[in-house]
Amino acid sequence: MRIYIGADHNGFTLKNNLIAYLRNNGYEVDDVGGDTLDPKDDYPQVAARVTMAMLASDDRDPRGILICGSGQGICIAANRFKGIRASVCNEAVEVRAGRNDDDTNVLCLPARMVKTGEAERLTDMWLRTAFAGAARYKRRIRELDELG
């Protein structure tokens, strides 16, 4: 599993901490930005870089992690791309439901609400929670892909 990760200026420090953590735990991680702390950057471009890298990947199960201040804006931007199922998670119940029921492939973290240790815990849970694969869940994902 290859993980593509990006953040705007609000999530820059958390992104760098999470990259180090993931790499230390054996994950392949591609940092797609921002490369420097730039208060003028915009989350839509970061979300586009991560999602486009995922969609172009030859990895069987590419995943994305996006970080901005609230997690909301970057999540909205990511969900504009067909085949992307992003969700904002700052609690374990959201992580489990997102993976188990909706097969989320992008985890959006709110840097203003989640500190490094909690982000690591939520990310671990997200990466380890399997999609249940129930027929109704698969049907709903197909319906999402048909929306536009």
Measured between alpha carbons, how far is 102 from 4 in angstroms, rounded to an integer?
19
Measured between alpha carbons, how far is 54 from 14 in angstroms, rounded to an integer?
21
Question: Listing from the earlier edge strand, what are the strands of the sheet with 63-68?
Answer: 28-31, 2-7, 63-68, 106-110, 86-88
CA dihedral 44, 19, 64, 7 (to 10 degrees): -10
Q: Which residues are catalytic?
A: 68
Q: In this structure, how many other beta carbons lie within 10 angstroms of the beta carbon of residue 35?
A: 9
Q: How far apart are the first and last CA of the chain?
A: 27
Angle separating helix axes 12-24 and 116-128, nearest 10 degrees? 50
